[in-house]
């Protein structure tokens, strides 16, 4: 049996400001750091083997705080880099000592290091005309019903931005190619990302309908834990309560 743990980042500065964060790099607040540490304590008994995260700092900060309770040091694996093994001393560009082979996660390493893979496939939704704007002001301008529709609908996102369907189209293939095989191999995996990229994964894993996914919302730094056994991912922790589903 292995574990898959999905965690939305802790509270960010723009969560407090009530802005649509999307692709903007916004760091955690003090409260967000505390939320991540509480999540870390909850996951302390699960020995994590690999980590996946987005390219955005709020998700990466949350992940590193969680790994701190694991007493592990996260090391980013860069897709364009090789292992750096068998390098020559000459620095011959035609050999194995090319620059791109020098910066990556070592294959033989200490037990307290954990590889981290980051991808923009796990990024938050790009909000288009809403990007960076105050939520209250946008509700006044477009109406609360329209904003909710853009944010909750599967097929339609804000003008110039992504729908959940668009996010599903990038997050799920990445999950199937890069993450699921590792879980199937018996490794415990954490994915630290965002409201909508994780909603897309949950929709895929649990077979939730286009309409049903509108009800699913994730609280900051609260883990969704799945066990993988007999070829199936099954949610282990309790169903999200109404307060979590309402969380924006």
Q: What sign does the CA torsion over 171, 176, 179, 184 have? A: positive
The structure tokens 């939730």 sit at: 208
Q: Which of 20, 19, 9 is nearest to 160 (CA)?
A: 20
Could you tell me which residues come within 8 angstroms of residue 46 by beta carbon, excluding any fewer than 6 positions away? 3, 5, 188, 225
- 61 catalytically annotated: no
Residue 65's Cβ-count burial label (10 Å; 0-12, 13-18, 19+) is buried
Which of 9, 11, 42, 194 is labelled catalytic? 9
Q: Which of 3, 6, 11 is nearest to 52 (CA)?
A: 6
Which of 124, 162, 194, 204 is labelled catalytic? 124
Q: Which of 245, 157, 236 is nearest to 199 (CA)?
A: 245
- 9 catalytically annotated: yes
Q: Could you list the active site residues?
A: 9, 124
């Amino acid at each position: 049996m292995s574990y898959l743990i999905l965690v939305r980042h802790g509270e960010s500065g723009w969560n407090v400001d009530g802005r649509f964060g999307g692709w903007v790099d916004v760091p955690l607040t003090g409260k967000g750091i505390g939320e991540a540490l509480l999540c870390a304590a909850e996951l302390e008994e699960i020995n994590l083997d690999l980590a996946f995260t987005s390219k955005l700092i709020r998700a990466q900060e949350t992940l590193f705080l969680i790994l701190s309770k694991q007493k592990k040091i996260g090391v980013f694996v860069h897709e364009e880099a090789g292992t750096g093994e068998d390098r020559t001393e000459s620095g011959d560009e035609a050999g194995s000592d090319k620059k791109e082979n020098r910066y990556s996660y070592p294959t033989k390493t200490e037990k307290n290091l954990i590889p981290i893979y980051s991808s923009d496939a796990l990024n938050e939704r790009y909000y288009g005309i809403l990007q960076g704007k105050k939520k209250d002001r946008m509700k006044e301008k477009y109406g609360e019903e329209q904003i909710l529709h853009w944010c909750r609908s599967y097929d339609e996102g804000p003008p110039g931005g992504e729908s959940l369907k668009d996010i599903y189209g990038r997050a799920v293939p990445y999950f199937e190619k890069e993450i699921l095989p590792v879980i199937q191999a018996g490794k415990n995996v954490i994915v630290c990302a965002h409201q909508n990229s994780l909603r897309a994964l949950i929709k895929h894993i649990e077979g939730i309908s286009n309409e049903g996914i509108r009800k699913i919302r994730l609280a900051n730094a609260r883990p969704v834990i799945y066990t993988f056994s007999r070829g199936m991912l099954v949610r282990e922790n309790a169903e999200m309560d109404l307060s979590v589903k309402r969380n924006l």
